[in-house]
Amino acid sequence: MKYGYYPGCSLERNAIAYHQSAMAVAGPMGIEFDELDDWNCCGATEYISIDLLPAYALISRNLALAAQQELEGNGNQLVAPCSACFLNLKKADHYMAESPELSENVNSALAAGNLHYEPGTVSVRHLLDIVVDDVGFNAIAEKVTNPLYNLRIAPYYGCMIVRPGNMKSFDDQEYPTSLDELMSTLGAEVVDFPLKAHCCGGHMTQISESVALELIRRLLKNASDYDADMIVTVCPMCQLNLDAYQDAVNKKFGTNYNIPILYFTQMIGLAFGISPDDLGFGKEIVDAGPALAKIGAEPSPKAKEKRPSKEALPMPSMGEDG
Amino acid sequence: MNEQFEPVIVGFLCNWCSYRAADLAGTARIKYAPNMRTIRVMCSGRVDPQFVIKALREGADGVMIAGCHPGECHYVEGNIKTLRRFLLLKKMLKQLGVEDERIQLVWASASEGTILADAVDRMTEQVRELGPLNWQNTVLGGGNGQGQPAPIENSPVAEEV
Amino acid sequence: MATTIASARAPTFFDEVVAATPGTDPHLELCLQCGTCGGSCPSGPDMEHTPRALFAMIDAGMKDQVLSSNTPWYCVACYYCMVRCPQEIHITDIMYTLKRMAIKEGLYRESSASDASGFSETFIDYVENYGRSFELGVATRYHLRHHPLNAVKMATGMGFNMFLKGRMDLTPTRIKNLDQLKAILSKAKELGGSS
Amino acid sequence: MNKEKVGVYVCHCGTNIAGVVDVEDVATWAGEQDNVEIARDYKFMCSSLGQDLIEDDIKEKGLTRVVVAACSPHMHEKTFRGACERAGLNPFLFEMANIREHNSWATNDKVAATQKAKALVNAAVERVVFQVPLEKLPIEINPNTLIVGGGISGITAALELADAGNHVYLVEREPSIGGHMAQLDKTFPTLDCSACILTPKMVDAGQHPNITLLSYSEIEEVDGYLGNFTITVRKKARCVIEEDCTGCGICEEKCPIKVVDDVFEAGLGYRKVIYRPFPQAVPKYPVIDKENCTYFLRGKCKACQIFCPTEAIDFEQEDEILKFQVGNIILTTGFDLFDARRIPQYGYGRLANVFTSLEFERMVNAAGPTGGNIFMRDGVTEPQSVAIIHCVGSRDKNYNEYCSKVCCMYSLKFAHLVHERLPGADVYNFYIDMRTPGKGYEEFYHRLLEEGTHFIRGRAAEVTDAARLPGEEGKLIVQAEDTLIGKQRRIPVDMVLLSAGIEARGDSKEISQLFRMGCDFDGFFTERHPKLDPVATMTEGIYIAGACQGPKDIPDSVAQAAAAAARVAGLITQGTVMMEPVRASINEEACSGCRICNTMCPYNAIVFHEDRNVSEVITALCQGCGTCVAACPSGIITGAHFTNDQIVSEIEGILWDVRSEPELVPGD
């Protein structure tokens, strides 16, 4: 499977581990990435706050390039590992398709660079989406040589990968489960993490640190309340906030959280038996070493369903329809 | 009224939904283009393609067929039959040089007076844009070979559904 | 003719907000004032007005109060409100619109998040001059400009760690065809982007 | 064509028409048209004087046709047909031109309106000369009635009809009648015990000599039309011989298998595999749930059979197919509760102590799984604080846009029951708007205010167990904006109740197709008129009552059910009804036997005679839509009162002012 690849600014430096691990696991999963030539920043959540049209033009340059460079075989599918980039690209395409006026303006701007973009030409997808939907759990299970037994993982999706509501999403927008399933496919114990799709604080770390630190604290607290050994993320911004600011949280709230924050691609690589160095381990600020040491050769004995007392009322069935 | 062209539109309204919608539009004193002249049929399914052609050749500039929403037909699915027929009829008339806008199918329930009124306004404007139909030249004159009225004789449209 | 008289009257603040929001109709007029947005918002407790309250104010034409509120700046774009809104209002998009308007009207300076836009602006400088960006460089420069003390904190604390881990650059890479990007952006601005 | 004598009457309707249309001009103009004997305009044609005008002209001038240009035929067609009839003219030789609703009320353009009025009048004149005398069709009404659904609506309608001496077939899908009301504990706002007021009615229905109760049965087929429907019912095998069963309940006692009861106990309790949904079930006979019965799964056990004192257990029993005739049908199929699992942020199914309204009804019910105690999911702990969330799945475009109407009131009832059974417990109601229209309803709300319920005006955003602050540990936290103070609040509670909305039955679309009647986008059955006829449907002889027509509480359902019964009783006493003779008929001589019309007819009213190779319309089944008429390639199907001649001449007439040179029109 061949895809266009849009790393996004973060993956060049701060999230280099994400980039490395994504590249490392691509091969084994039968994925081929074609990095978009001369891509530019998506504007994150900032550009759109200042100026609408330039913001959309900025994003659309990438879409236009992707459509132009249509690397044969990638079926004009552009993969973004960063949730913010993913949302920006997807949303620009969506809104241009919805509003001919917007599309027209954006295109007359692009024309200044001899570019043009026809909404709908490029289908923008998140890295997690192609891993779970195109590669699939079975194919991944087959490749697992070093299952992540005994490791309690809190899967963390953040916001922008499954929202907003006015666009089709590849997973539930309130309570996604694809990453959960992926992690248990790798042999890990998955924590049913209530805040899995809540906010990491985004850029609030810059605008109002106190607000941001509270949001980060909630996630760390909840994860440790559920005795997670680590939090696994799908977005550089989430990783950065939870990892780099964990120290600040501890200082501010007098806590002593020590939860490593890793990328899902790093975990896949680990389970595939790829050397940690090739997966960017060690780049995380909260050392993942101790947690990884917990990985056992045997799956931890299933804490067997303690049968409810005979007084207990039955729980609602969560059938398919649920 | 100024000198602009006032199209004449014949409207076939089904007795249960759209005719009552038109009644409601009146009762609610919604003002809309006086260009549509209504003919009541029990069901939009009663509208024989011949009626549409008849109206056009008799001097109407456009024809509107209005019925209950799909699934709400008083006669279960008459309107679905209408829809199928309508699409074929439209295709055929196009070959004869009659523009799409001149024959329109509208769903309006008994409570949707505004929807019907808006539809009439919209259609009136569209047909006014197109100008008079003038069947004689457009069809009999300007027909394009396959466009001879011959096939119309016993509404093949109906046969095909 | 069955037309509404809305088109007749001069555009209100409400109309401006709707018009400046991209995509299809954001459905702002449908707000039930149910508070699902304010209840869902992660930074809701720190907002001067909940989104719901802000919408009522927009409808009431309280332009200055709305545009000088810190609410849009505290939006973290998590989109929970947008997913849960029973009326399918494009809330997050409207927050972006309000930021743009606040900047245009210079009213954001009134708000307690007065320097929030500063971050966005610093960010944009990078994007416009390099074609790429990176949170940390932006952060440092932004802090140097707005709260020097934080900058020091960053340089020594968290920022320093990042640097050690090789996760922090001082300048981003520059794209090859920067001129093309610049041309596109200036054209976009010229096209009255600022709305 | 021999000349007809048409009388044209143009109504002023005060200024309603005359204010916009130049009625005098129209009348004079009409007088000059072909076939028109006399044309008049008059202030109010519908007045007795106006009608006299018509009657006199018919008698004195020997009019053979009458046209009235006035309001909509739906308004006064009947009136004027009456006038014609009184003067000895067949009412179907009358035609109406709608120059009010469709003209004078729809525009201010006097010129255009007058022109249009002439067109409409002319159309009517040219049409009416082609109209022919018709006789209304008498239809015999079979005195038996089918009622589908044995909830409170169905029971009410059945008893109303049966007490009036009519026979009723009451068909219920579940093993017992009673419906949702049987599951409730108290009813708002009077707090009557639901069972106490319902069970007597259930017993009456079960024992009534005029009611054939078919429980555990489903409708398979519906054929026919008003007055004479043929119904096919599948009576599912109970595996219990009703004649022999005494309802002693020993089988239930001895059955070793227990399963969760998702129907009557709403999943909160268990039932045996051979069971009666509840002790007061009507009929009293149990049923065996084959999916879970050890005998049916593994061929052994038979405990019930072994212990049954009257040998009433019959594992070999098979479904029965019953056929019977009825004249009318009342649908009272009720509602489904909104599935709260569809809203993940409320945590139902994931967070143990989140309950749905129906679960709570069972919980507070003395006969329910907790014997009426309010317990958390562990079945022993009493909650110290309870949150009640309104509008779950209602007033939300993501689920159902409509208001479910009953939730505010039952949420208040829940709050009251918590106060009553757990004095000292805190109760929080999260609402968008408090909707309490109804006798004694607002007063009930005030009573709850007195009882100290905390009302928070704000739709709950989420329910979570993710604690942020010490006070939240181990609790469920309901997060919402308190819109009255404009601040976000997090309320830690022990138990959350979701006031789920009312939805149409999952299979209501199939049901509406089965009975050939309308059903709206939400799946609720469509009434004939939203204001003036909320009990009839667009299909003659089929009526609706209760929540299957839209969200409704008990009093409304009962009232509607009684109304439907009264409508049916009316038809039964009439014995026969006269139907519009608007029907299709096939000229067999000309029929080519192509059979296109057979597939066209939505009522299967057209039969094909292989022997003669022709199709025939069964007049009694035909509803007169005319689809077949339009479809007939050789144009030999006649739609009475809407014949090709009539419509074609109407088209010509309506285009009088723009007609090009008349030419032969193919096909007519």
* pLDDT above 70: residue A130: yes
Query: How far is Cα A63 from Cα A100, in angstroms, rounded to an integer?
Result: 16
Q: Which residues contact D647 (CB under 8 A, 6 or more apart)?
A: B39, B41, B51, D127
* pLDDT above 70: residue B2: no
Asked, for residue B112, whether it belongs to a domain, the answer is yes
Which residue ranges make up each domain of chain C? 12-110, 116-186
Asked, for residue B4, whether it belongs to a domain, the answer is no
Asked if D285 and D247 touch (Cβ cutoff 8 Å), the reply is: yes
Residues A84, A189 within the same domain: no
DSSP sequence for D538-549: SSTTEEE-GGGS
In this prediction, residue D529 has a pLDDT band, given cuts at 50, 70 and 90, of confident
For the range D603-608, what are the long-range contacts, defined as Cβ-Cβ under 8 Å and sequence gap of 24 or more?
A: D603/B75, D603/B76, D603/D225, D603/D516, D604/D223
Segment holding D550, helix H or strand E = none
CB atoms C1 and B31 under 8 Å: yes
* pLDDT above 50: residue A264: yes
* pLDDT above 90: residue D555: yes
Query: How far is Cα D399 from Cα D392, in angstroms, rounded to an integer?
Result: 9
CATH code for the structural domain at C12-110 = 1.10.1060
Those chains having 3 or more beta-carbon pairs within 8 angstroms of chain D are A, B, C
Asked, for residue B145, whether it belongs to a domain, the answer is yes
* Residue pointed to by tokens 């949150």: D387
Could you tell me which residue, C80 or C116, shows the higher pLDDT?
C80
Residues A190, A123 within the same domain: no
- Considering the segment(s) D137-188+202-235+321-333+507-576 as one domain, its CATH architecture is 3-Layer(bba) Sandwich (3.50)
User: Can you give the CATH number for the domain in which B121 is found?
Assistant: 3.40.50
Mean pLDDT calculated for residue range D132-139: 92
> What is residue B143's predicted lDDT score, i.e. its pLDDT?
44
Asked, for residue A264, whether it belongs to a domain, the answer is yes
Regarding beta strands D145-148 and D328-331, do their DSSP bridges make them parallel or antiparallel, or are they unpaired? parallel
Express as a percent the part of chain C with pLDDT over 70. 80
* pLDDT above 50: residue C194: no
Query: How far is Cα D580 from Cα D136, in angstroms, rounded to an integer?
Result: 5
Q: pLDDT digits over A17-32, tens only?
A: 999 999 999 999 999 9
* Residue pointed to by tokens 């079960």: D206
Q: Buried b / exposed e across B87-120, counting CB within 10 Å, b at 16+? A: ebbbebbeebbbbeebbbbbbbbbebbbbbbbbb
Q: pLDDT digits over A254-263, tens only?
A: 999 999 999 9
Asked, for residue B1, whether it belongs to a domain, the answer is no
| C43 and D CB contact within 8 Å | no
Q: pLDDT digits over D185-211, tens only?
A: 999 999 999 999 999 999 999 999 999
CB atoms C39 and D480 under 8 Å: yes
Regarding beta strands A152-155 and A189-190, do their DSSP bridges make them parallel or antiparallel, or are they unpaired? parallel
> What is residue B79's predicted lDDT score, i.e. its pLDDT?
85
Segment holding D148, helix H or strand E = strand D145-148
Mean pLDDT of chain B: 84
DSSP sequence for D108-137: --HHHHHHHHHHHHHHHHHHHTT-----PE
Nearest-neighbour CA in chain A from C52: distance (Å): 18
| Location of each CATH 3.50.50.60 domain in chain D | 137-188+202-235+321-333+507-576, 336-503
Query: How far is Cα B44 from Cα B22, in angstroms, rounded to an integer?
Result: 14
- Nearest of D242, D240, D282 to residue D150 by alpha carbon: D282
Asked, for residue B107, whether it belongs to a domain, the answer is yes
Please, what is the end-to-end C-alpha distance for chain C in angstroms?
Answer: 33
Q: pLDDT digits over D207-251, tens only?
A: 999 999 999 999 999 988 889 999 999 999 999 999 999 999 999
Asked, for residue A309, whether it belongs to a domain, the answer is no
In D18-143, at which residue ranges do the beta strands (DSSP E only) sit? 36-42, 65-70, 94-98, 137-140
- Nearest of D279, D262, D320 to residue D176 by alpha carbon: D279
Q: pLDDT digits over C147-164, tens only?
A: 666 666 666 667 777 777
Q: Which two tokens stand for residue B99?
A: 């523009």
Decide yes or no: CATH 3.30.70 for domain D237-318.
yes
Could you tell me which residue, D413 or D527, shows the higher pLDDT?
D413
Asked if C133 and C172 touch (Cβ cutoff 8 Å), the reply is: yes
- Tell me the helices (H) and strands (E) count for chain A, helix number first: 14, 8
* Residue pointed to by tokens 């199209």: B7
| A64 and C CB contact within 8 Å | no
Mean pLDDT of chain D: 94
Contacts of B31 in chain C (CB under 8 A): 1-2
Minimum Cα–Cα distance from D480: chain C residue: C39
CB atoms A102 and C22 under 8 Å: yes
Residues A254, A106 within the same domain: no
* pLDDT above 70: residue D657: yes
* Residue pointed to by tokens 């040491």: A293
- Nearest of A191, A192, A190, A238 to residue A215 by alpha carbon: A238
Residues A58, A161 within the same domain: no
> What is residue B141's predicted lDDT score, i.e. its pLDDT?
67
Domain stop point among A127, A156, A179: A127
* pLDDT above 50: residue B159: no
* pLDDT above 70: residue D665: no
Asked, for residue B3, whether it belongs to a domain, the answer is no
Structural domain span for residue B81: 9-160
Mean pLDDT calculated for residue range D575-587: 91
* Interface mutation target, options D260, D336, D376, D398, chain A, most CBs of A under 10 Å: D260
D625 vs B38, B59, B78: nearest CB: B78
* pLDDT above 50: residue B160: no
CATH code for the structural domain at D584-640 = 3.30.70.20
Regarding beta strands D287-288 and D274-275, do their DSSP bridges make them parallel or antiparallel, or are they unpaired? antiparallel
> Class of D336-503 per CATH?
alpha beta
* pLDDT above 80: residue A67: yes
CB atoms A13 and C169 under 8 Å: yes
* pLDDT above 70: residue C176: yes
Q: Which residues contact A52 (CB under 8 A, 6 or more apart)?
A: C20, C22, C96, C97, C100, C193, C194, C195
Q: Which residues contact D576 (CB under 8 A, 6 or more apart)?
A: D138, D139, D140, D141, D227
Which ranges of A36-135 does DSSP label H, i.e. alpha helix?
A: 47-50, 52-68, 83-98, 100-111, 127-129
Q: pLDDT digits over D33-68, tens only?
A: 999 999 999 999 999 999 999 999 999 999 999 999
Residues A84, A153 within the same domain: no
Express as a percent the part of chain C with pLDDT over 90. 51
Those chains having 3 or more beta-carbon pairs within 8 angstroms of chain A are C, D
Asked, for residue B80, whether it belongs to a domain, the answer is yes
Instruction: State ipTM.
Output: 0.81
Minimum Cα–Cα distance from D352: chain A residue: A315
Q: pLDDT digits over D597-650, tens only?
A: 998 888 888 999 999 999 999 887 888 889 999 999 888 999 999 999 999 999
In this prediction, residue B153 has a pLDDT band, given cuts at 50, 70 and 90, of very low
Minimum Cα–Cα distance from A167: chain C residue: C83
D344 vs A165, A172, A225: nearest CB: A172
Least confident of A119-128, A292-301, C30-39, D426-435: A292-301
Contacts of B121 in chain C (CB under 8 A): 1-3
* pLDDT above 80: residue A74: no
| C4 and B CB contact within 8 Å | no
* Residue pointed to by tokens 């939400």: D522
> What is residue A76's predicted lDDT score, i.e. its pLDDT?
87
| B32 and C CB contact within 8 Å | yes
Asked, for residue B42, whether it belongs to a domain, the answer is yes
CB atoms D626 and B42 under 8 Å: yes
In this prediction, residue A197 has a pLDDT band, given cuts at 50, 70 and 90, of very high
Mean pLDDT calculated for residue range D128-156: 96
Q: pLDDT digits over D250-293, tens only?
A: 999 999 999 999 999 999 999 999 999 999 999 999 999 999 99
- Nearest of B45, B40, B47, B154 to residue D668 by alpha carbon: B154
* pLDDT above 50: residue B155: no
Contact of chains C and A by CB distance (3 or more pairs under 8 angstroms) = yes
Contacts of C5 in chain B (CB under 8 A): none
Q: pLDDT digits over D319-367, tens only?
A: 999 999 999 999 999 999 999 999 999 999 999 999 999 999 999 999 9
| B125 and C CB contact within 8 Å | no
| A164 and D CB contact within 8 Å | no
* pLDDT above 70: residue B161: no
Q: Please tell me the pTM assigned to this model.
A: 0.83
Query: How far is Cα A222 from Cα C55, in angstroms, rounded to an integer?
Result: 32
DSSP sequence for C111-155: STTTTHHHHHHHHHHHHHHHS---HHHHHHHHHHHH-HHHHHHHH
Nearest-neighbour CA in chain D from B150: distance (Å): 9
Express as a percent the part of chain D with pLDDT over 70. 98
Structural domain span for residue A38: 2-127
Domain total of chain A = 2
Nearest-neighbour CA in chain D from B102: distance (Å): 16
Q: What is the DSSP letter of D552?
A: -
> What is residue D660's predicted lDDT score, i.e. its pLDDT?
60
CB burial of residue D453 (10 Å; 0-12, 13-18, 19+): buried
DSSP sequence for D155-186: HHHHHHHHHTT--EEEE-SSSSS-TGGGG-SE
Decide yes or no: CATH 3.40.50.960 for domain D6-128.
yes
> What is residue A221's predicted lDDT score, i.e. its pLDDT?
96
